[in-house]
Amino acid sequence: MISSVLPNFKVVRDKDRCIQCGVCERQCSNNVHHKDDVLGVITAEDSRCVCCQRCVVMCPTNALHIERYPQVNRANANWTHDLVQGVYREAETGGVLLTSMGNPEPYPVYWDHLLLNASQVTNPSIDPLREPMETRVILGRKPAHIEVNEREGKLITKLPPQLVLDFPIMFGAMSYGAISLNAQKTLAMAARELGTMFNTGEGGLHRDLEEYADNAIVQVASGRFGVDAHYLNTARMIEIKIGQGAKPGIGGHLPGEKVTEDVSRTRMIPEGTDAISPAPHHDIYSIEDLRQLITSLKEATRYTKPISVKIAAVHNIAAIASGVARAGADVIVVDGFRGGTGAAPLRIRDNVGIPIELALASVDQRLRDESIRSEVSVIAAGSIRSSADVVRAIALGADAVYIGTAALLAMGCHLCKSCSAGTCNWGIATTRTDLSKRLNPEIQTEHVVNLIHAWGHEIEEMIGGMGINSIDSLRGNRLMLRGVGLNEKELSILGVKHAGE
Amino acid sequence: MRRVYSIEELCLDCKLCEIWCRTAHSNVAGATWRAEGPITGRMDPFDIIKAGKLEQPEPQSRIRVEGDTVASMAVNCRHCPEPKCVEGCISGAMRQDPETHVITCDPTRCVGCRTCVALCPFGTIVVRDVALKCDLCGDGAGAPGMPACVAACPNRALVYVESEV
């Protein structure tokens, strides 16, 4: 049968440079490259290429590069190439289009319309190389007032459990199964070295990672995979996952092929069965139900751990966040629509949810209006791409941010959006041992640690330029932001003035 | 002495070590590696092209990746403390440096009798006219810096470390 589905990419090989060493063939898990002894050349099956660029990077003679498949359609601004191909694909398979990573569509990126302030003349800027800077943040419910025994210098008020981070940056939830154990171990090792947190996602805590439990946030999601008393009590914080920015309103599905023996033990489900997370928690149909689960988790851990609730940024997010805060959450995670995923239906990822910038600003404003902002910490997630985005998020009201994609990029990810295939050539989104060993946790931990150190320096430079010497003084400080190219409504939701005002 | 060790769990079967090794030991491009490579850890892609395309017969790699993509590891000369190859060599070509303990074969003396091949417990010597084996490359055997195979490994599956023996 003929197929109208075209390859997405074309593998271009410089014959003058290729020495036919076959590294590309051995490294490609998609079987694109093939050393053809009859033709005497290495051929490439373009249709299988996902543009992960493993071969490009590994080729010792730089003989390879990947191009977009050159076939053109009759120009059509309405029926774009991707839409037409999507119809062909669905018509030929009858299946839902699956994809991975964050929303790539050209919706407005509000981060790029927010500019940062700096001090000039009227107040001094601070040089982080010469003066102390505080990047530490403390997450958790803060009491309205505290009593101190001044004679002994001790706190009388019993503080709710707090979470201390050396950087306002944590690693977002990525479960074992969706990513490889080596990838999760890398995040765990980096989190420990950096004094921050990694998040196990909904796939349970692998026993090899229990030694990193002091830096682990464990998730309780709708599938409740891997959840037992030990799991809850080992972790530093517990996160109830209500939704995910990449796919608000729908659950998860880890195909049976990825549920290997190790994954099955960690998730506490039979080997080879599909791990299906229902769309809702079937015991949470209201804020009151959420309060019950939060209280149960607090009881199970004897009120020693903060409980966070992760919700996707959707319409009415401010009211939802307010309800979550009142349900007893210590931390609220708001995940914007550009957040990544290991697998999501394409149409959901590209069309559902709202931008994190607007959601964060409205959540922070609502909590402040209701005078409950201090009772809960807010974490922003969903495409934090650089240290400047971290600064903007904190100025818009976040206590800290989650990064997922940026951390994966540091570990070698090339954003080919094929995580759901399970054949990740970089050893990240796969449970195949022959592929996951390509990610050496020792090397990649160095990269992730480097990344966060670099961001830390950049954050210090940026807030120092504003004349601020601690993250705490930046939080919710929207006067440090100015909008460019935004309309009145956008500015009022973001709570920032336009540049020049 | 420092030796090259292979870590099986990290070996990817990419065979880049073999490609760098044969380039470092080629006639057309080897000098460039010996001049700077061991210190900088960099190999010019054009040297790899020269060694891969121009030289006939093809330059020989002295390290070999055994196995497949599922399980593999690189094997090269262990530079044994009591080397059988040196003991058995009939022409005195194979010798161990008394200071660095690096074992090398003198191509002007080697007669290609393959006694060393038969005696090597690790199968790390090949004969093409003369015996070819790992010399822990650098500017002269045992020189500081990294052998080409170690510099090539993208996953730190090859390490060049001090050994106990």
B43 and A60 within 8 Å at the Cβ level: the answer is: yes
Q: Which residue do the tokens 């170690």 mark?
A: B150
Instruction: Tell me if chain B has a CB within 8 Å of the CB of A31.
Output: no
pLDDT of residue B133: 95
Question: Comparing A9-69+77-94 with A137-498, is the CATH topology the same?
Answer: no
pLDDT of residue B89: 96
A27 and B19 within 8 Å at the Cβ level: the answer is: no
Interface of B with A in 58-77 (CB under 8 A): 69-70
Q: Which residue do the tokens 């099955």 mark?
A: A264
- The partner residue sitting opposite B19, judged by closest CB among A27, A60, A433, is A60
pLDDT of residue A255: 86
Q: Are A357 and A401 in contact (CB under 8 A)?
A: no
- DSSP states of A438-478 as a string? TS-HHHHHHHHHHHHHHHHHHHHHHHHHTT--BHHHHTT-G
Residue type (1 letter), A371: S
Q: Read off the pLDDT band of B2 (50, 70, 90).
A: confident
Instruction: Tell me if chain A has a CB within 8 Å of the CB of B53.
Output: yes
Residues B76-107: tens digit of each pLDDT: 999 999 999 999 999 999 999 998 889 999 99
| Residues B26/B32/B34/B38 CA torsion (nearest 10 deg) | -110
Q: Are A339 and A381 in contact (CB under 8 A)?
A: yes
- Every domain of chain B with CATH number 3.30.70.20 lies at 77-133
Instruction: Tell me if chain A has a CB within 8 Å of the CB of B54.
Output: no
Residue B141 has pLDDT above 70, yes or no: no
The first and second tokens of residue B35, run together, are: 């001049």
Interface of A with B in 393-452 (CB under 8 A): 433-434, 437-438, 440, 442-443
B155 and A58 within 8 Å at the Cβ level: the answer is: no
pLDDT of residue B140: 55
ipTM value, please give it: 0.93
Q: Which residues pair with A176 in a beta bridge?
A: A179
Q: Read off the pLDDT band of B138 (50, 70, 90).
A: low
The first and second tokens of residue B124, run together, are: 């790390």
Superfamily of domain A137-498: Aldolase class I (3.20.20.70)
The first and second tokens of residue A495, run together, are: 């709570």
Please list every residue in chain B whose beta carbon sits closer than 8 Å to the beta carbon of residue A433: 70
- The partner residue sitting opposite B45, judged by closest CB among A22, A62, A434, is A62
State the Cα–Cα distance between residues A11 and A27, nearest whole angstrom: 14
Reply yes or no on domain B77-133 having CATH 3.30.70.20: yes
Instruction: Tell me if chain B has a CB within 8 Å of the CB of A21.
Output: yes
**Peptide linkage before B57 cis (omega within 30 of 0):** yes
pLDDT of residue A336: 97
pLDDT of residue B143: 62
DSSP H/E element including A481: strand A481-483
Instruction: Tell me if chain A has a CB within 8 Å of the CB of B19.
Output: yes
Q: Which residues pair with B73 in a beta bridge?
A: B66
- The partner residue sitting opposite A21, judged by closest CB among B9, B19, B155, is B19
Tell me the CA distances in angstroms from A487 to A236, A354, A388, one per residue in order: 42, 17, 22
Residue type (1 letter), A487: N
Average pLDDT taken over every residue of chain B: 91
State the Cα–Cα distance between residues A312 and A382, nearest whole angstrom: 9
Q: Are A213 and A185 in contact (CB under 8 A)?
A: no
A vs B: CB pairs below 8 A: 57
Instruction: Tell me if chain A has a CB within 8 Å of the CB of B161.
Output: no
Instruction: Tell me if chain B has a CB within 8 Å of the CB of A14.
Output: no
pLDDT of residue A423: 95
pLDDT of residue A176: 94
State the Cα–Cα distance between residues A74 and B54, nearest whole angstrom: 46
A433 and B70 within 8 Å at the Cβ level: the answer is: yes
B155 and A442 within 8 Å at the Cβ level: the answer is: no
Q: How distant is the Cα of B142 from the closest Cα of chain A, in angstroms?
A: 25
Instruction: Tell me if chain B has a CB within 8 Å of the CB of A19.
Output: yes
pLDDT of residue A274: 92
pLDDT of residue B144: 64
pLDDT of residue B151: 93
Q: Are A99 and A420 in contact (CB under 8 A)?
A: yes
Q: Are A64 and A25 in contact (CB under 8 A)?
A: no
Q: Are A456 and A197 in contact (CB under 8 A)?
A: no
Residue ranges covered by each domain of chain A: 9-69+77-94, 137-498
Phi, psi of A461 (to 5 degrees): -65, -45
Low-confidence ranges of chain A (pLDDT < 70): none
Reply yes or no on domain A9-69+77-94 having CATH 3.30.70.20: yes
Residue B165 has pLDDT above 90, yes or no: no
Please list every residue in chain B whose beta carbon sits closer than 8 Å to the beta carbon of residue A22: 15
State the Cα–Cα distance between residues A73 and A82, nearest whole angstrom: 10
The tally of CA atoms less than 13 A away on the side-chain side of residue A360 is 35
B7, burial (CB in 10 Å: exposed 0-12, middle 13-18, buried 19+)? middle
Q: How distant is the Cα of B70 from the closest Cα of chain A, in angstroms?
A: 5
List Cβ neighbours of A133 (8 Å cut-off, separation of 6 or more).
A126, A460, A463, A464, A469, A470
Question: Which of B155, B158, B161 is the best substitution to test chain A (most A C-beta atoms within 10 A)?
Answer: B155
Please list every residue in chain B whose beta carbon sits closer than 8 Å to the beta carbon of residue A60: 16, 19-20, 43, 45, 48, 152
State the Cα–Cα distance between residues A332 and A180, nearest whole angstrom: 27
